[in-house]
Amino acid sequence: MTAETIIQSLASGLLMGLLYGLIAVGLALIFGLMDVVNFAHGEFLMIAMM
């Protein structure tokens, strides 16, 4: 295992964690403001990431 592999793994893990955090914040914000679960949130996220 090289240092480059470790750095790439750490960066990938950090970015995935940030993405999960953004998804959770978006869902919490929508549910907190509207009191309705938006089931299309995942589809909007996929479109935005594309």
20-50 confidence digits (pLDDT tens): 998 888 888 888 888 877 778 778 878 887 7
Higher pLDDT, 28 or 16: 16
Return the pLDDT at 47.
87
d(C-alpha 42, C-alpha 38), whole Å: 9
pLDDT band at 18, cuts 50/70/90? Answer: very high
Higher pLDDT, 5 or 47: 5
Residue 16 lies in a domain: no
State how many domains the chain has.
Answer: 1
Structure tokens at 25: 């914040």
Residue 3 lies in a domain: no
Residue 13 lies in a domain: no
What is the extent of the structural domain holding 39?
21-50
Q: In whole angstroms, how far apart are CA 1 and each of 5, 13, 34, 47? A: 6, 17, 48, 36
